[in-house]
Structure 1
Amino acid sequence: MCGILLHYCPHKQLSEDELTEFPEGTDFGKTTCVNESSIFNRIIPYIAARGPNYSSLRVIKAHQTRWFSSVLSLRRPFTKQSINVDDRYHLQFNGELYNKEISDWDNDSLYIASLLRNLEDGRNVVDVIRSLEGEYAYTVYDVKSSIFYFGRDPIGKRSLSYSVTLNNELYVASVTGAVEGFQDCIGGVVYGFDTRTKLLNGKQRLRPPYEVTSRIDPEFESLSKISKNLYDVLHDSVKKRVESIHPAHIENSPIAILFSGGIDCSVIAALVCEVLLEHHYECGKPTIELLNVSFENPRTGLLPSGTPDRKLSISSAKIIQNLYPQIDIRLVEVDVPYEKYLKWRPYVIDLMYAKQTEMDLSIAIAFFFASRGEGFLKLPHGERKSYQRQGVVLLSGLGADELYGGYHKFANKAHHELVKELTRQINNIYERNLNRDDKVIAHNGVEVRYPFLDEYVINLSTLEIPINYKVNKLILRKVASLFLKLDEIAEEPKRAIQFGAKSAKMTKDGNKHGTDLLK
């Protein structure tokens, strides 16, 4: 996982070509890059936080461009960014790829560089991007065509924004804070900025929009078969997201899961356990951290220990621990006192920009604290000890509600209405959830991965699962009970994180609505 910042500045006199490398632990709140623009300097600390293992500034005078990149190293060999590919392409890559061919490379950034290096006549950068499988954002500069390409994967799992100024400067960044003028990139669109014409054009889609089938199986004749098919693709999705982590990370650091205790994250946790048990570990039990966040809410009078998600997470974690005694499963109770919420609230509002509603804040701040992972482990006799999350890869159950009809508002919809709504949800998830969530989670120097948003999982879920299997998440509940023995958890009702963790409506002003703009 990496942070991306690109600045094309045709009307500014750049210094000579340079490559400045910053050591791990550099304080970018106090470090600036001399002669850079104020916007560029302001964004640098956000980019550096996403990749704590390495940062660099590359300036190429002939291209009138600066690239600032940061790296969180999860796959060998360690690869510095940005990458100069034979003086023809300049590449920044943020994310993870799961193309089968990468087994021979081990590193996705080098894999993309090899594809660019070996482009045959008639193929271009867009063809390379279209061949990628995974969760990613990128910038590529093609020296020969003088075009900057940038964008996000087909579903939009990594955040990326851009700005074209009145004097034709181009900025592209993973996260910007509250800097005006930036637009979030649309998921699955390849943007092209031609430095000869100074025009942003050539917006090409990587794939058509997803379409949810309207097929109905009135007798549920295929329920068992399709449940097995869904289990298989989910297992494969989790497997490649676990096995693509450098083995040293899994041996020495846990895999973390954003954990409310509900069915979505519990299915992911159980599948991670199954994948880990397929391997032999020399260092004892493999470890999983279940990160549960709960807030002190002065409006309700609840302490973190009394929130619905905390109670559910304890019971669900116990079920999973009993199912997989070979795994060291740690429930990390992340408590957020009201004073701590108030301290970090302005910072999270800045991070999640351009989102500005009460609902966005209540979700973003929950993910922000959960991914920070400053919490407690409960000891056998009931006392708790302080604990800091160790895992740098977090798995999330996001996408299950959009694919399988989990939201309460879907419960009483007619089948044709549900088809329309789910189609809209999955195609807009990049804008509704993913851009915001990636900004606040990655700021803590971790990478989040989404098994439900795997390409094969989405294709099966949208095209092959009958719409009546998606009433109240029937199909996912069948997978949980039939193949993972999560019967008790499978019966739990849906509860949004902001209500389960009590991060919504934190003050006595109970008249606020989720759609209200922040004040």
Structure 2
Amino acid sequence: MCGILMYQNERSERKCLLGDYFIEFEGPEANNVDSIATKLASLHVDDVFIKECGYIVKRGPNYSGFKSVNKGKILLLSSVLSLRSPFTKQPIENDRFIIQYNGELYNDEIDASFNDTEFINNKLSQVLKDNVNENAIEEGIFNVIRSLNGEFAYNIIDTVTGKNYFGRDTIGKRSLSYCFIETTKELIVTSCNGSKIDDVYKKNFINCLNNVIYIYDSKSNEIIDTNFIIKSPYKVMEVVMENENEILALEDKLYLMLKESCHKRLVNIHPLGSKPTEKIDVGVLFSGGLDCSLITVLLCEIIIEKSLQDHFTLNLLNVAFENPRTSMQPDDVPDRKLGIKSSSEIIEKFPLVDIKFHKINVESEQYLKYKPIVLDLIYPKDTEMDLSIAIAFFFASKQSSLLNNKSSVLFSGLGADELFGGYHKFNNKSNEELIPELNKQINNIHDRNLNRDDKVIAINGVELRYPFLDEFVVEWSTSSVPLNLKRNKTILRSIARTKLLFRDISLEPKRAIQFGSKSAKMFDSKIKGTDKSS
């Protein structure tokens, strides 16, 4: 996982004080916000870039690389959390392209000894070898982006044409936003923009849409957003299926697809500095509900089947808030009780897997202390609902880093409700009403959830992985699972009950994290989720 920051300022009248620099910040003494800000200030780097650095450096605790191009007209900062050997520094460049990349790729061509950032670099280099025509080179760049399988965001600079290509994957699993000011020829592309910048930039930030390959052409000074990774949005299957054998076949297929999705997200975790003889700590955002329990069980099955018991520890991270309004303590909230119950069942079934249940208790004073920090991170999201969800994830990732052994990767069950109709509001809808709702849920998840969640978790140097949002799982689930199996997650409940043999977990009702952890309505019972938080 990495942080991406680029500032491009093409004003001809601007007095550039910078030369072309490449500066590395490695180790805790150098790679921290204060140290980097001081160094960049000494080089007369623009204030807006220095302010934005604070949101980026913390995302990559292992390394940060600063690059100045074209006498300071382009400034780049990439921070790196190295989870995949070999360690690869960023920004990375070849004869023509400068690349900033954040994410994880699962393409079959990438083996255990090959880093995915280097994989992209090599593919772009091959584009130059195969083509001499500029139109063909641009189409080659598109094809490289379209070939990537995983969860990612990117910024690619073509130093010959003066074009920037940036965006997110087809679903939008990594955060990315941009600010374009046409009159001053300024462009900022960043993993997290925050709210503590000058209004002239703040009001112009836009969260990148999923699936769009954005192009900034510095020569024409325009943003082009008409190119896509896949041609059309995901669209749900509109039929109903009653044949029992066909339904069982679908359950078998989904079970195997989810298991493969978990497998490829587990086995490539090799944090920088980890030793072959040491176990790798992997976290799960664990409320005890159906989605996260299903992911946990699949991870356990993989660990047993692949004889990985000596390689991984599963840390189940259960967040609960002290709610002063109701006088409810963390051990009394619904998610804590359910988490203990579900984790006990899983531990009992998989005694050979090293599973640890962690209580992450958040006192009301801590909530008030970090509330403004979380609101700053999730900007422009600012509702009470966004805050109550984001702050739970923030403490999960923050506290997980304070355990004896840090879990740098967290698995999440996000996507199950959107793909399989888990929200209560769907229960009484007709099929005709349900179809557009499901289409909207999966195609809007990048803005509704993913951008926000990535910002508050990554700031603590932790990466999220989403087995339900694997491209193959999403494409197959939308196009092949009939509507009647998408009410109240019918197909997932059947898999939990019949294939995984967890009957009680299969019956658990949907409960939103802000209500299960009691992070909502901490001090005011009358406040609404849609109200602006202050």
TM-score tier (shorter)? over 0.9
Using the TM superposition, give the Cα deviation of residue 106 of structure 1 relative to its aligned residue in structure 2, in angstroms.
2.1
Tell me if 1:259 matches 2:276: no
Match for residue 20 of structure 2?
17
CA pair 61-135 structure 1, distance change in 2 beyond 3 A: same
Is the contact between residue 172 and residue 446 of structure 2 (CA under 8 Å) also seen in structure 1?
yes
Identify if the C-alpha distance between structure 1 residues 104 and 301 changes in structure 2 by more than 3 Å, giving closer, same or farther: closer
1:62-141 equivalences in 2 (<5 Å): 64-86=73-95, 88-103=96-111, 106-119=114-127, 120-121=130-131, 122=136, 123-141=139-157
Check whether the contact 1:92–1:139 (CA below 8 A) recurs between aligned residues: yes
Q: Which residue of 2 aligns with 1:345?
A: 371
Q: What CA distance in whole angstroms lies between the structure 1 residues aligned with 2:294 and 2:275?
A: 22
Residue pair 2:91, 2:98 contacting (<8 A) in 1 also: yes
- The equivalent residue for 1:151 is 167
1:27-426 counterparts in 2 under 5 A?
27-29=32-34, 31-32=36-37, 33-34=40-41, 35-61=44-70, 64-86=73-95, 88-103=96-111, 106-119=114-127, 120-121=130-131, 122=136, 123-165=139-181, 166-178=183-195, 179=197, 180=202, 181-207=204-230, 208-246=232-270, 248=274, 251-281=278-308, 284=310, 286-373=312-399, 387-388=403-404, 390-426=406-442
Deviation string, structure 1 residues 133-189 (Cα, Å, up to 9, x no partner): 000000001122210010000000000010112301111000011141211000110
Query: Following superposition of structure 1 onto structure 2, how do residues 469-480 of structure 1 map, counting pairs within 5 Å?
Result: 469-480=485-496
Instruction: Return the letter of the residue paired with 2:425.
Output: K
Equivalent AA in structure 2 for residue 152 of structure 1: R
Amino acid at match of 1:51: G
Question: What residue number does 1:381 align with?
Answer: none
3-state SS of paired residue (1:117):
helix
In structure 2, distance between residues paired with 1:285 and 1:81:
28
TM-score, structure 1 as length reference: 0.94
Q: Is the 8 A contact 2:17 2:71 kept in 1?
A: no
Verify the 8 A CA contact 1:105 1:111 in the aligned structure 2.
no
Shift of 1:105: 5.2
When residues 259 and 36 of structure 1 are mapped into structure 2, their CA distance, relative to the original with a 3 A threshold, is: same
- Distance (whole Å) between structure 1 residues aligned to residue 475 and residue 225 of structure 2: 26
Cα shift at 1:372: 1.4
Q: Which amino acid aligns with 1:515?
A: T
Distance 1:454 1:440 in 2: 21
What per-residue deviation string (whole Å, max 9, x for no partner) do you get for residues 368-404 of structure 1? 00111259xxxxxxxxxx9456210110000000001
The 1-side partners of 2:150 and 2:178 are apart by 21
Partners of 2:112 and 2:268 within 8 A in 1: no
In the alignment of these two chains, the number of paired residues is 506
Q: Does the 8 Å contact 1:285/1:326 carry over to 2?
A: no
Deviation larger for 212-221 or 64-73: 212-221
Q: Distance in 2 between matches of 1:115 and 1:50?
A: 26
Task: Give the conservation status (yes or no) of the 8 Å contact 1:373–1:389.
Answer: no
DSSP-derived class of the 1:319 partner: helix
Query: Residue 23 of structure 1: CA displacement?
Result: 2.2
Question: In structure 2, how many angstroms separate the alpha carbons of the residues matched to 1:269 and 1:222?
Answer: 27
TM-score, reference length from structure 2: 0.92
* Amino acid paired to 2:463: E
Contact 1:372 1:389 in 2 (8 A): no
Distance 1:14 1:78 in 2: 32
Aligned with residue 529 of structure 2, among 511, 514, 518: 514
CA offsets 1:254-290 (integer angstroms, 9 cap, x no match):
1110000000000100111111223345x84731000
Percent identity, please: 46
- My pick for the range that moved more, 290-299 or 478-487, is 478-487
Q: Structure 1 stretches of 5 or more lacking a match?
A: 376-385
User: What is aligned with 1:4?
Assistant: 4
Letter of the 1:74 partner, please give it.
Answer: L
- The residue type paired with residue 297 of structure 1 is N
What is the DSSP-based 3-state SS (H/G/I as helix, E as strand, rest coil) of the residue aligned with 1:257? strand
CA distance in 1, matches of 2:275, 2:329: 34
Structure 2 vs 1, CA of residues 167 and 212 (structure 1 numbering), >3 Å: closer, same or farther? same
Structure 1: distance between partners of 2:58 and 2:311: 31
Q: CA deviation at 1:204?
A: 1.0
The separation in 2 between residues aligned to 1:285 and 1:78, in whole angstroms, is 20
The answer as to whether partners of 1:373 and 1:388 remain within 8 angstroms in 2 is no
AA aligned opposite 1:305: D
Say which SS state the counterpart of residue 486 (structure 2) adopts.
helix
Deviating more after overlay: 358-367 vs 471-480:
471-480
Deviations 1:341-380 (A, max 9, x none): 00000000001111010000000000000111259xxxxx
- The answer (yes or no) to whether the contact 2:414–2:466 under 8 Å persists in 1 is yes
Gaps of 5+ in 2: none
- How far off its partner does 1:484 sit? 1.4
Could you say what secondary structure the match of 1:118 adopts?
Answer: helix
The question of whether the paired residues in 2 share the 8 Å contact of 1:102 and 1:111 is answered with yes
What is the alpha-carbon distance in structure 1 between the residues aligned to residue 229 and residue 17 of structure 2?
34
Structure 1 residues 56-82: Cα deviation after superposition (integer angstroms, max 9, x where no partner): 111112582111010000111100000
**Do 1:24 and 1:55's aligned partners in 2 also have CA atoms closer than 8 Å?**
no
Is the partner of 1:124 in helix, strand or coil?
A: helix
Letter in structure 2 aligned against 1:167:
T
Instruction: Please say which of residues 355-364 and 480-489 is displaced more in the overlay.
Output: 480-489
**Bigger shift: residues 198-207 or 291-300:** 198-207
Deviation of 1:332 after TM superposition, in Å, equals 0.7
Deviation at 1:30, TM superposition (A): 5.3
- Among 432, 447, 465, the residue aligned to 1:449: 465
CA distance 1:62–1:15, shift in 2 (3 Å): closer
Q: Which residue of 1 aligns with 2:453?
A: 437
